[in-house]
Structure 1
């Protein structure tokens, strides 16, 4: 057993990654976790590649410094714009190249081709995720005959983060983007929720989807693939501590984070810590 806690790190630009964390902890309840939300700089969806890479790298380095040997980027934008560079450039150059950073796009791509019967898949995501074309590229590697059409929904994250997911205004924006998606490709029979905030809009999304369309949310799939990954990589699994403990960290108000996280997870999460992220891990500090 590890003397020093070595938790699984889970990172998101804000609160949406909590929907992924919830499923991961449900599937793997014995492990320790640190959830980090960069709430001070959210949303990432409209930011440049350079900004998303820089912010994500700072978060990854922070979680490494906290002892995490394995980090999940529970953020589609970070997975689309930063994961590959971190895996190919930063990890090999680090002091411990055995550490791992995984994303949420590949696990989704692996299964989507098995869900569609028409070979036409829709993607609902942030501006950054859709513009990156990461989903079409990953899906094409596995299912070259599948067509992916993306629809950017820039208002959906602000609606969720401002507590308006159940409002009539949310209906307007949900209906608008779903109609635009199906006007572009009426043959779509499977739709990916390509942002971790969007599960909170599931009821409204289903209301406006055409009958018979499969709606795919990532949480269960990412959790299943992580469980499988740990089985296939015992050298990583052995490094993880198991005390069933969770720490929540945020770059913004701990009080607001705790309140919002309790809504996302449907239970009180207790106290959150505020942390500062910089490009130099030596100067990172926890703010009390």
Structure 2
């Protein structure tokens, strides 16, 4: 598909497939290339410099495949790498390419979902430490209180396909209890990691029925559709052959097995360096 101007979608592992699925359902006619950096996942505990370096390498690879637009379907990469890529790398080396993240589109709308103006954010250590959601939500909804909780065990549970087993309940309850103890007014929980929707059934068991659980896939898909409608100079570059390719830096059989859980269908990925 090189040169066919696909939309590139990047994640540190499997979680971005939840965003990919929503985007492909919302915008089915476009070509897509998904890249998971599974060999170096999870990104959540890596330093800012390391996440930036890893993310830039993968973004540049997607550019080489002919993607003029890349979506960072990873909250940690969006928090730790997106700004540097947008401000430092694109103007100098890739002035005709665009890279978008998942934090800003979410922050633009999540404040409208809370009646109590109290939102809990559940994310990786890297996303929480960056305070990106605190900053971005405050820009759009200065009257909203944001509470944060890192959930370092959730991504490994999902990446190792342990998220549906009883052993996962301990860590789900642990982090839910921790965020809810911060404020009795929280009525909205944002799953600020694209892996977390696979835990949503277990999360639901440990929150009151009046609490909204917000996943990002549909939000990001709606935002991208709006973006393409407003930026015809990008939209006009994109091919519409309804083709999808999947690549990973990790083990192919593992990726294929896990990806089928996220997408609900079988697929055959390729190694990153195979054209």
Q: TM-score scaled by structure 2?
A: 0.98
Per-residue deviation at 1:87?
A: 0.5
* Equivalent position of 2:16 in the other structure: 17
Give the Cα separation in 2 of the matches to 1:57 and 1:3.
Answer: 19
Give the Cα separation in 2 of the matches to 1:62 and 1:160.
Answer: 26
* Equivalent position of 2:227 in the other structure: 229
Indicate the SS of the match to 1:208.
coil
Show the 5 A alignment for 1:1-288.
4-94=3-93, 96-269=94-267, 271-275=268-272, 286-287=273-274
Alpha-carbon displacement from aligned partner over 1:189-222 (angstroms, at most 9, x marks no partner): 1110000000000111111112311111000010
The 3 A distance-change label for structure 1 pair 254 and 121 is: same
Unaligned runs of 5+ in 1: 276-285
Indicate the SS of the match to 1:60.
helix
Unaligned runs of 5+ in 2: none
Alpha-carbon displacement from aligned partner over 1:71-126 (angstroms, at most 9, x marks no partner): 000000000000011001110011x4121100000111011111111111100111
Give the Cα separation in 2 of the matches to 1:243 and 1:3.
Answer: 13
Name which of structure 1's ranges 244-253 and 9-18 shifts more when overlaid on structure 2.
Answer: 244-253
Give the Cα separation in 2 of the matches to 1:102 and 1:255.
Answer: 29
Per-residue deviation at 1:167?
A: 1.1
Contact 2:3 2:65 in 1 (8 A): no
* Equivalent position of 1:282 in the other structure: none
Indicate the SS of the match to 2:148.
strand
Indicate the SS of the match to 2:40.
coil
Give the Cα separation in 2 of the matches to 1:238 and 1:152.
Answer: 40
Alpha-carbon displacement from aligned partner over 1:34-88 (angstroms, at most 9, x marks no partner): 0000000000001100000000000111100110000000000000000011001
Indicate the SS of the match to 2:121.
strand
Ranges of 4+ aligned residues in structure 1 off by more than 2 Å? none
Contact 2:2 2:65 in 1 (8 A): no
Give the Cα separation in 1 of the matches to 2:222 and 2:143.
Answer: 26
Name which of structure 1's ranges 180-189 and 16-25 shifts more when overlaid on structure 2.
Answer: 180-189
Number of residue equivalences? 275
Per-residue deviation at 1:287?
A: 4.7
Per-residue deviation at 1:162?
A: 1.0
Give the Cα separation in 2 of the matches to 1:221 and 1:30.
Answer: 19
Give the Cα separation in 1 of the matches to 2:3 and 2:203.
Answer: 44
Give the Cα separation in 1 of the matches to 2:92 and 2:271.
Answer: 28
Per-residue deviation at 1:4?
A: 3.6
Give the Cα separation in 2 of the matches to 1:28 and 1:260.
Answer: 23
Indicate the SS of the match to 2:67.
coil
Alpha-carbon displacement from aligned partner over 1:228-273 (angstroms, at most 9, x marks no partner): 100000110000011111110111112211111111101011x211
